[in-house]
Structure 1
Amino acid sequence: KRLIILSRDTRLYSTRRLAEAARRQGHRIRILDPTRCYLSVATGNPAVYFRGRDIRGIDGILPRIGTSITGYGTSVLRQFEILQVTVQNSSDAILRTRNKLHMLQRLAASGIPVPQTGMAFAPEDNPALLRLFPPPPLIIKLIEGSQGLGVVLAENPEAAESVTETLRTLMAHFLVQHYVTESRGRDRRLFVMGTEVVASMERTNRNGGFRANLHRGGHARSIRPSRVEIDLATRAVRVLGLDVAGVDLLETETGPVVLEVNAAPGLEGIEQATGVDIATRMIDALVERIRNTSPMA
């Protein structure tokens, strides 16, 4: 099959692993920087160009679109969808995960437990918003942050007020979230493909921090998730319409809650912690979907 990885950096572990897995199985693979693609939106004649060449005859796409280029990256992906190219995670599904508030609203409305979360628009509503929560600590996070960036732990009411006021002056959009004290700097990442959890790890911040992200000092180990965790993760992916995702769970006194769903989860930490060849499974899943959707199938 003729496949494309949409990625800005060929050196990234996940991009390299996917390309290697595709080549090992005999597929033709290209890595295209979505910011170097340009589009022609025309009735009856849509097109995607890369460095002057019209990109045609592609069977499937693996999008690895970072948060900083969500808008343009998903526009490029949507153009390929219009061209009837099979994609692993649609542009609309990716967009559902990129705004943390919208994502949590969808999950909560579907009965999936999430941490109590709030947002206000007017600065004068900040004090009332903070009063909706139990006494601090509270988590304050940017709506479109990633890899643990743009997340602050406010340990007392004064800190919470100070952080929210500072973010307001910067015209930043943020969420206030209940801090799950019992998680103690731990979370669980379940890697979901379709209706199956193919790999799971627990991430722990060994430095005493509250963020377990591997990019922020976390340590990972392979785990066997419970049936409740598997059910939560697969339901969350289904609600958001994703094919592949990393689902982050926190353990609370009343059971696990979904903290976040990542539409372009990194492969390095979870492959190394679990020994599962996720890259090959992703290629296999995309190729199977291409075959199932092909008019010749």
Structure 2
Amino acid sequence: MINKRIAVIGTPGKWSTEVLADHLERLTGFRCVVDMAEVVLNLQTGKLTYRDVVLNELDGVIIKKISETYSPAADDRIRMLDGLRADGVRCFSAPEQVGRLINRLEGTAALARGGVPLPETRITENTQAALAVVDEFGKAILKPLYSTKARGMIVLEAADGTEVNTHKLETFRTEHGLFYLQKFVNLGGQDLGMVFLGGEYLCTYARVGDANAWNTTINSGGKYQAYDASPELIELGYKAQSCFDLSFTTVDIALTEEGPVVFEVSAFGGFSGALKGCGIDAAEKLCEYVLNELETG
């Protein structure tokens, strides 16, 4: 066993969190799953405590899940972790990099600046401007700035008319505020998850959608399958994930008639797709990567 104390910041009881903790316990003999809802930050000392564990005294932490849902509060939790590195605690991934992806606008803006092809996207607070975008696109997806797995997303069609779309936009505004509108992309029944570990390509899986859903997420009935990505597609994934500095991530890619586009780079990445689609235990590989990084400095 390797004598390192590494905690998993995640959701106690959830498979993706617990499988990391299982692997770390097997490799190091130490097990600690941290629920950020119970963490206390002492600003005078800079210490973060979870029950009887002082996180500043650990060798490292793996940030697997900061919250069950993305929100400004999730961003606050990330900021609480910023001080760990000052005490020599390695974070996988670094909190400031994860924070760039909690907010959809910040994450996709970084991709756009990096020259990564995205679906056409417009952001505005103005309802009339948003209606003009829907008319321009013909069909658009209205997305909350803080969400995952297509939660809270709404399809708007110009054919539905101004009155219907105005009502949808104003209802959306009451909960989410800013309008983030993306041109509807025909997925052809699938999109891809391209997995990277330490900046290196690991595998690609497909999410094959349910015929009755507009998106391919597992929450909407999608299924995982293996996918043999071309070198050109892998290069696109490299380009997208290199806009950030993440220990582990998944790049979401759609194959459209105009060519591949990137939807997003995940703040945390997922293990299920790699395991069920490609037969790769990405959680185990992440733990081995983390231990090697700690051993080699």
TM-score over 0.5 for the pair = yes
Aligned match of 2:48: 48
The answer as to whether partners of 2:140 and 2:181 remain within 8 angstroms in 1 is yes
User: Where do residues 170-249 of structure 1 align in structure 2 (5 Å cutoff)?
Assistant: 170=175, 172-181=177-186, 183-249=187-253
Distance in 2 separating the partners of 1:283 and 1:52: 24
Aligned match of 1:116: 120
Number of equivalenced pairs: 287
1:3 aligns with 2:6: yes
Residue 204 of structure 2 aligns to a residue in which SS? strand
Aligned match of 1:35: 37
- How far has the Cα of 1:52 moved from its partner? 5.5
Distance in 2 separating the partners of 1:171 and 1:100: 12
Q: TM-score, normalised by structure 2?
A: 0.89
Shift of the 262–156 alpha-carbon distance from structure 1 to 2, 3 Å rule, reads same
1:61 aligns with 2:61: yes
Q: Aligned partner of 2:214: which letter? A: F
Distance in 2 separating the partners of 1:231 and 1:27: 38
The answer as to whether partners of 1:60 and 1:287 remain within 8 angstroms in 2 is no
- How far has the Cα of 1:199 moved from its partner? 2.3
The answer as to whether partners of 2:199 and 2:248 remain within 8 angstroms in 1 is no
- How far has the Cα of 1:101 moved from its partner? 1.6
Aligned match of 2:281: 277
Structure 2 unmatched ranges of 5 or more: none
Distance in 2 separating the partners of 1:90 and 1:148: 25
- Residues 186-217 of structure 1, C-alpha deviation per residue, up to 9 Å, x if partnerless? 21001111232212111111233111111221
1:76 aligns with 2:109: no
The alignment's C-alpha RMSD in Å is 1.9
Distance in 2 separating the partners of 1:279 and 1:75: 25
Distance in 2 separating the partners of 1:27 and 1:52: 18
The answer as to whether partners of 2:208 and 2:223 remain within 8 angstroms in 1 is yes
The answer as to whether partners of 2:56 and 2:89 remain within 8 angstroms in 1 is no
Aligned match of 1:165: 170
Q: Aligned partner of 2:118: which letter? A: V
Residue 225 of structure 1 aligns to a residue in which SS? coil
Aligned match of 1:141: 143
Distance in 2 separating the partners of 1:63 and 1:174: 29
Distance in 2 separating the partners of 1:178 and 1:122: 17
Distance in 2 separating the partners of 1:269 and 1:98: 21
Moved more, 94-103 or 23-32: 23-32
- Residues 200-254 of structure 1, C-alpha deviation per residue, up to 9 Å, x if partnerless? 1111112331111112211110111111221121221111222211110011223
- How far has the Cα of 1:168 moved from its partner? 2.3
Q: TM-score, normalised by structure 1?
A: 0.89
The answer as to whether partners of 2:130 and 2:179 remain within 8 angstroms in 1 is no
The answer as to whether partners of 1:185 and 1:212 remain within 8 angstroms in 2 is yes
Moved more, 263-272 or 107-116: 263-272
Shift of the 81–280 alpha-carbon distance from structure 1 to 2, 3 Å rule, reads same
Q: Aligned partner of 1:37: which letter? A: V
- How far has the Cα of 1:27 moved from its partner? 4.2
Q: Aligned partner of 2:277: which letter? A: A
Distance in 2 separating the partners of 1:239 and 1:170: 30
> Alignment partner for residue 12 of structure 1, among 11, 14, 23?
14
- How far has the Cα of 1:265 moved from its partner? 2.2
1:266 aligns with 2:270: yes
Shift of the 142–291 alpha-carbon distance from structure 1 to 2, 3 Å rule, reads same
- Residues 59-118 of structure 1, C-alpha deviation per residue, up to 9 Å, x if partnerless? 111112132442232023212223221111111111111111221111111111111111
Distance in 1 separating the partners of 2:222 and 2:230: 22
Q: Aligned partner of 2:222: which letter? A: G
The answer as to whether partners of 1:117 and 1:175 remain within 8 angstroms in 2 is yes
1:255 aligns with 2:259: yes
Moved more, 154-163 or 27-36: 154-163
